[in-house]
A and B are shown apart, each in its own frame.
Chain A
Amino acid sequence: MAACCVAAFLCLVFPATARNSAAAKLRGSLVAPLAALQQKAELSRRSFLGHDAAVEIADSVTLRSLRLVGVEEENERLRRLLGLASAVKWGFIPAEALQGRGLGDETTITLSAGKFAGVEPLSPVVVSEGLVGMVERVDNSLSLAIIWPHPDFRVSAMTADGSAFGIVRAHPGQGASRYLLELQGVPLRAQLKPGTLVVASGLGGVYPKGVPIGTVQQEIRTPEGYARSYLVRPAVRLQDVTSVMIVKPARVRAGIENVWARGVAADSAIKGVVAAGDSARRDSTRRDVSRRDSVRRDSVRRDSVRRDSVRRDTVRRVP
């Protein structure tokens, strides 16, 4: 007992270097496995405690990346719409499409622009991909448009090369084919190949000539023996419609048929917008991620104000 106490006391009063060296020798030999066990136990504890946080981080990263895909798609659509706007130049009203996605909302959309913005009934609603529908009713600040699945939707159409004319309407099918269009009244001599682009012919004065409606999918058999009918895959996917352009009747009369045909010009306009957007994106990535949502909300508010001013400008520029 006395010897042990003296030895322990000596360990306590020895210089730090000697104590450290003795401790190091023990750690390197006898205690090494125990120290390794302790290290593993502490790592296990840390990983156990950090598991929930790691899962939360992984979840938030996944969620953020999923959101990013949606944001990129929306950016792409907005860029194309901006390119379209720069090509149309005047006589249009930008609006947001408010899709209820409920029963009865499948064939109409509410637009966030109304009489005050200069919207008139029978104005065509378009996006960069093509024709969406037509304004049916106009309130002071909102308007209601029928879209291509609507039973009353009719467009005088033709093939892009003008070789065949007909009337496009919603296909009265069941299931998935309910979301297709039908090109009716095509002369028997005009046989269209799948993939043929169908555009508005401009006859009737409601829809501007040249607006893409869709592409021919296949011919369908109908009781009428004097004309052909074709199933047409719509150019516009309604679930992607968020921002639209309402073309004013005066602009329709002036003609915008070259807008969609001028693919190169539109592409260059889009590239310009993309370049501007990229620099803006570089700036925005420097910002704090946590502030992004609030900034986005603010920008939406500013956009709506700016949109009103654009609306006023376009209305003013109508000849």
Chain B
Amino acid sequence: MSVAKSLWFAVVLLLLVVLQYTLRPVLAWRAPIDFLTIALLLVAVRARPGVAAAAGFALGLLADSLTPDAFGAGALAMTIVGFGASWLKAAFFADNIALNGIFVFLGKWAFDLIFLVAERRLQGTDLLVQAVLWSPISAAATALMGLLVLLAVRPVLGAPRA
């Protein structure tokens, strides 16, 4: 990746992080869009699994610092999702819109499931409703937004390498 492209990529990542802390609170949806997950997946498809895991850990810690009760849960979930996404990118991140959407959807849902288990705050029915109802909705919203972001950045950054 050239320097210019790297800069653009950094700007896009920074924009996604800013959106996480500006647009998301403004929308305040019950099933919110997770811009950090989109950022992580963008990194994951362009980096090696180890780097993606480290990026996930950093982004997770960033998010966890504002939710001290679940400190570490986000980092763990992001690490696993980042690593897994980077490992599976060859299978999923082909030049296909639907596959890309499913990739983001699964990434976000996996993140939520790991986070919910690691956090140990919700239990029983609440955990079930969150895991099988709200998390998939949130994952779908995130997937839609992820597709928009991918379509927007692809002309500049190009398709990720398999």
Query: A203 vs B94: C-alpha distance in the bound complex, in angstroms?
Result: 111
A226 in the interface, Cβ–Cβ < 8 Å?
no
Q: Known contacts being A1-B49, A38-B25, A41-B25, is A9 close to B76, with CB within 8 Å? A: yes
Interface membership of B79, Cβ < 8 A: yes
Chain A residue contacts of B123, Cβ below 8 A: none
Tell me, rounded to whole Å, the shortest Cβ–Cβ distance linking B75 to chain A: 4
Quick check: is B136 within 8 A (CB to CB) of the other chain?
Answer: no
The reply to whether B71 and A23 contact each other, CB–CB distance below 8 Å, is: yes
A4 and B66 contact, CB distance less than 8 A: no
Query: For residue B84, which residue of chain A has the nearest CB?
Result: A1
On chain B, the residues within 8 Å of A264 by CB distance are: none
Q: Residues 25-47 of chain B: 1 if any A CB is under 8 Å from the residue's CB, otherwise 0?
A: 11010000000000000000000
Which residue of chain A is the closest to B62 with respect to CB atoms?
A31
Q: Say if the beta carbon of A44 comes within 8 Å of chain B.
A: yes
Contact B66 A38 (CB under 8 A): yes
* A37 engages B21 (CB within 8 Å): yes
Question: Once bound together, how far apart are the Cα atoms of A27 and B66, in whole Å?
Answer: 7
B118 in the interface (beta carbon within 8 A) = yes
- Which of A29-85 touch B at CB < 8 Å? 30-31, 34-35, 37-38, 40-42, 44-45, 48
Are A12 and B66 in contact (CB-based, < 8 A)? no
The smallest C-beta distance from B2 to any residue of chain A, in angstroms, reads 28
Contacts of B23 in A (CB 8 A): 41
With contacts A1-B83, A23-B64, A34-B21 known, is A8 near B26, CB below 8 A?
Answer: no
Bound complex: CA of A21 vs CA of B88, how far in Å?
36
* Cα distance A42–B26 in the bound complex, in angstroms: 6
B80: contacting residue among A5, A20, A30, A31, CB under 8 A: A5
CA distance A40 to B25 in the complex (A): 9
Asked if A301 is at the interface of the complex by the 8 Å CB criterion, the answer is no
Determine if A45 and B72 form an interchain contact, defined as CB atoms under 8 angstroms apart: no
Chain A: residues with Cβ within 8 Å of the partner, total of 30
Binding stretch for chain A, among B52-60, B99-107, B143-151, B154-162: B52-60
CB of A48, distance to nearest CB on chain B (Å): 8
* Interface status of A190 (Cβ within 8 A of chain B): no
Output the nearest chain B residue to A44 by Cβ-Cβ distance: B26
Q: Determine the interface band of chain B, counting residues with CB < 8 A from chain A.
A: 20 to 34
Q: Are B76 and A12 in contact (CB under 8 A)?
A: yes
Please determine whether A19 and B21 come into contact, CB atoms closer than 8 angstroms: no
State whether the Cβ of B116 lies closer than 8 Å to any Cβ in chain A. no
Question: Which A residues lie within 8 Å of B83 (CB)?
Answer: 1, 4
Q: Is the CB of B66 within 8 A of A31?
A: yes
Q: Do B22 and A12 have beta carbons less than 8 Å apart? A: no
With a CB–CB cut-off of 8 A, which chain B residues contact A9? 72, 76
A12: which of B17, B28, B73 is its contact (CB, 8 Å)?
B73
Q: Are B68 and A23 in contact (CB under 8 A)?
A: yes
Collect the chain B residues with CB atoms within 8 Å of residue A45's CB: 25-26, 28
Q: Which residues of B contact A4 (CB under 8 A)?
A: 53-54, 56-57, 75, 79, 83
Closest B residue, CB atoms, query A1:
B53
- Contact assessment for B76 and A23 in the assembled complex, using a CB-CB cutoff below 8 Å: no
Task: Tell me the complex Cα distance, A42–B22, Å.
Answer: 8
Alpha-carbon distance between A5 and B80 when the two chains are bound, in angstroms: 7
**Contact (Cβ within 8 A) B76 A8:** yes
Contacts of B11 in A (CB 8 A): none
The answer to whether A11 and B61 touch across the interface, beta carbons within 8 angstroms, is yes
Is A7 an interface position by the 8 A CB rule?
Answer: yes
Closest to B87 in A: A1
Q: List 25 A-B contacts (CB under 8 A).
A: A1-B53, A1-B79, A5-B79, A5-B80, A8-B72, A8-B75, A8-B76, A11-B71, A11-B72, A11-B75, A12-B71, A23-B65, A23-B68, A26-B61, A26-B62, A27-B66, A31-B65, A31-B66, A34-B18, A35-B66, A38-B21, A38-B22, A42-B26, A45-B26, A45-B28
- Chain B residues in contact with chain A, CB under 8 A? 17-18, 20-26, 28, 49-50, 53-54, 56-57, 60-62, 64-66, 68, 71-73, 75-76, 79-80, 83, 118
18 more A-B contacts (CB under 8 A) besides A34-B17, A48-B26? Answer: A1-B49, A4-B56, A4-B75, A4-B79, A4-B83, A8-B73, A11-B72, A12-B71, A12-B76, A23-B64, A23-B65, A24-B68, A27-B66, A30-B62, A34-B62, A40-B22, A42-B26, A45-B28
